[in-house]
Structure 1
Amino acid sequence: MRSSKWMGLLAALGFAVGTAVSAGAQTVKDFPNRPVKLVVPFSPGGSVDLTARSIESKLAELLKVPVLVENKPGAAAVLGTQAVVTAPPDGYTLLVGSTSMSIRPHLKPPPPYDPAKDLLPITLAAKVPHVLLVPPSLNVKSVADLSNLYKTKKTPIMYGDVGQGSLHYLAGDLFKAGSGIDITHVSYKGTSNVVADLLGGHVQLGSVELSVAGPYMASGQLVAIGLSVPTRHPEWPNLPTIAEQGVADYDISSWFGFFAPARTPPEIIDLLNREMVKALSDPGVKATYAKAGLTPVGTSVAEFRKQLEKEHVKWGAAVKISNPQ
């Protein structure tokens, strides 16, 4: 009697486990069969948003399901990132991450998640250099001009960023350390908000991705005082770098990539990587990225993971120099 009960329990347990395994395999086999969401942890209009929206249509075509972009800004990308970290690990909720993910873990308090443990890299999508922008009303066209203005007025420059822990915030502190120009941080939910207040003259300086800044520079609505990477950009050959203007080793560029929640099945990660790399190599997507000032990449999962390890070390050292409070 007791033996038959145990046999019944074991049979039921075996059936349950088998069903769960079968359901899991079926889920992977059928993926995707409903819309895939790309969470952008910043407001619309910035480079992270452009990275997602430029690939959205082609990726939907390749996956054969709708791909939706959802903006979830706040707390220097923590809110949107946390939403993906806590999402079901089924491949249907993905993060469009950026350089801030390599910076936040080095700050105090750290974010409520560990990007290296709580997220899985899919592919590095794009890179873009930053420029330092000022409003035309400031009558400043170079680092030397800005330095002279600061020395004359003897008040800190109002600097717009997207929150402590963001690359934009760190870019300001590194510029301050290298130039001797004091700044006061004014934080916003996204790059588009920084640009709006630069246009309105409410802040005097901001580090903005070239992909966002380009149209404003071309129209003369905003003035770039320098490119934030070591070498000049082929599309803007007359724009000097910040480093060549005396701020040694100033190097600020953003990367953007796609991530899934930890424990997402490797088969789903591989499928997403394969289709995203195809999308990034599509001539139409490449042209859209180029027009926006973004350089498309498209790496393997392993290559992206290695890049993230290097970025973690690089920005950890930069945080020690900046020492943001």
Structure 2
Amino acid sequence: MALSVTPVLRRVPLRQIACLIPLVLITVWVVTHWSVIAEGAGRLRGADPVWLLIAVAVTGLCWVAASCVRQGAILERLPAGRLLASQFAAGAANHVLPAGLGAHAVTLRFLRNCGIPLSRGTASLALYSLVEPIARFVLLFALLAAVPGALPLDEITPDGRTLLVLLLVVAAALAALALALFAIGPLRRTVRGFLHTALTDARALHARPSRVLALWGGALAFPALQASVLASVAVALEVPLPWHHVAIAYLAASIAAGMVPTPGGIGSVDAALVLTLVASGVPLTVATATVLGFRIITVWLPLLPGALVLGALVRWKVL
């Protein structure tokens, strides 16, 4: 006689296990990166503590900006406190999965618990993913127009062969996607329905000034605040570079590193930031210390609290 596994599964504390998973993953990540954390802390001992505290305070505003973008991407009014808590928790999840999947998964779960249908919740994530890079490009071009020559493109631009390979990879990926859409009928219908929902919601959102302000204002504020964190750390370490040059370096590095899907941009953004700062005239050791300080403040300090909040939200069935 076949045994039913349903009663057994009901006795397994799945929600309690789900609460522990983020903590376990974060603990493993911290242990494997402990040498980097120790090195960064050592280099920052001589930094100006006032500017480091300013960087910590500005980092807190980043979650407010992220919450504004999430609210601006959905028509319904979301509970502000729980939305902010979910974005703080999403920051921890974002450093476990690549390409922002962790943050999107947390946000989608939050939207579903707020009564948002899956199709519209997914459409809001797509709108967020579209608006965020556009805002970075707008900020970068505005700063470059205001400060011509601040970004040494000749020193950081890949050679022609590398660019050709990147273009071929992108073209091949787009061709494969187009072929799949044309060849698979159910997938084509799913994508058509998703695009209809996304475009309908986007038009409705842009007809409401409050949502436009939250969406685009938050999308512009988030990278500006992140760049301000990096600039504050640079001032604390007495980096010989004006703040707007540091902001341009951050925007350029984050856009370039966005092509490499790593958890939270860790690794790809760091390497691009060091390269850009060095190309701007910052000594390698100082550039490395600046990026490590930026990572400590924006990632490692909020990591454990974010994981605890994530576990609490799962336990309280907010997620």
Q: Which has the higher strand share?
A: 1
> TM-score scaled by structure 1?
0.28
> TM-score scaled by structure 2?
0.29
Higher relative contact order (CA 8 A, sep 6+): 2
Q: Which has the higher helix share?
A: 2
